[in-house]
Structure 1
């Protein structure tokens, strides 16, 4: 692949630079091989520019740095400068590992990311769409857990994984979008069909410094990563929900509100039934009841956010709600709930009245 394929807007008067053959992309100097593009990115503890000489010695063909980053004198390879090198790198990596699955969604929030990603995958799978989820519990494909343990993998790992999933015929993927991953631009090369917000509380302040900075990182999903016209599923029962909904509307997203205060999927009533819940919702066509086979209000909320993402990506409302009745919780200890390990499977056989809406 030529450099111009990775960075079509590159400004240079040297045609040989545009024609440079790039054999790999990495931000880790230890992984540089001859012909690689090395991204010398700023880090929380060290600067990537400290390893430029090592990368060039290993065979890097071009180096990406920030606008004002100092580089060694007499660099023997071209240097690309960008005002936001992390974002540029993520987009370069996306092009290098193209194509991606056709339908990718991302969910952010302090709690619930793992559950929502898992639930969306399960709903897609039940609806006949081969699907995967990527996040805290690894890469799960068609219900089979494989590898990984980062909430949001680095851009190279993420896009290589998506490329491999596409090669397997997987065209539906749900991702967890952590605040670290968003602020470090790891998702900026993605073409997302939809994004979701679950909730936000004070967390990761050791990294972000303030709650405001933490929330700003989460907001990047709706302000920058999602493209105009994509769906934004917002849990309106969180105290900060309107901030996220407003950001989505301002940036041209299709806002779909969920919860007791939601409009797209309004939670009408919840009735406990053993270790499950009978939940009545209204999607604008009258109430319908569905059995959620998990305990806790947080799991009801997570399930409805997942339903919103599934509907936003083409699953019929009735089919999405039917699939909720077979959901299984992700492994205990993930960020699926405020109280890991408390979710239990439903054992009730109490009949409920179902009303399937007429398809329009």
Structure 2
């Protein structure tokens, strides 16, 4: 086995007994969003530093994206999982994972997300020497992940098969507990530390304005996230139509990618209504955009760890968001929260904030202070190591044949 560094996490904190009690871990991913992938990358790096022998189980494409973190050719298991959800593929993935776990002598399996959790639960339940199972519920399952009955059964399987369930938001925690999860608790998901952009804000903004063809002397409203129905960009477009009556008219910058039909429809709506909205696609200069923007907004129907909100808070940027999922847990009273789907409240609150620079500055300063007190990636790793130790201490000694009760 490859020699590992002394067991400490990146910040120098001593890990709990989990680093020695559960030294062999398999991290399972299905088709993670960027948020989940960022979280897992930071976690894997710190688990390795803590002396845990980490392996990854994921699709070939996902494994390739971790090649700079560990040797996936040695410490990776290819699962036949595609972007589309097909039960036959998930069952095959569970079989592949079961064989890998049997061969590797794994102590703990950590599945990230609903689909990965279901695959892992199916894989471990009949092993003679069953590894502990930890699942992190990053988001809600959506109808695209299967029929309603199948989804409910899958959620119940994951909840009741897990030795420890980690939830980044209070609503996910309540959902897991309601489905029968034992030893479920809140567990933080932290945005990685970002290096602030070099140069004064005026210079950064001028450079971006020149690149993007934007006016410098009007407010910039920024949002970052996948362009999918969950994010409810339609509400943002409807609000932008109302903001055209403001003087000066703000420009809305949308960073993110999504399915071609969804993006094409948004572009058509923007063009037909002549909206002041700019779809910027994927960008690697989020920190610079946040440094240059005037307000950060989020219109999601549901959101869990909201890493983009954490990044905006750290960037000293006032936030207006729908009060959904884990956003209130992160933002607290340091930003403006509006009911999910409430166009009138959202449009009015953003307009009021743009017209009141003193209030915007006060919110930005309080958000920045709160961001400094939120858990960082080192704290996340220590929390996960503790969960591993707990799960290994309580795992069953043999197969669990029927962890799922009949459907309600």
Name the TM tier (shorter chain). 0.3 to 0.5
Query: Which has a greater percent of helix?
Result: 2
The structure showing larger relative contact order (alpha-carbon pairs under 8 Å, at least 6 residues apart) is 2
Query: Which has a greater percent of strand?
Result: 1
TM-score (norm. length: structure 1): 0.37
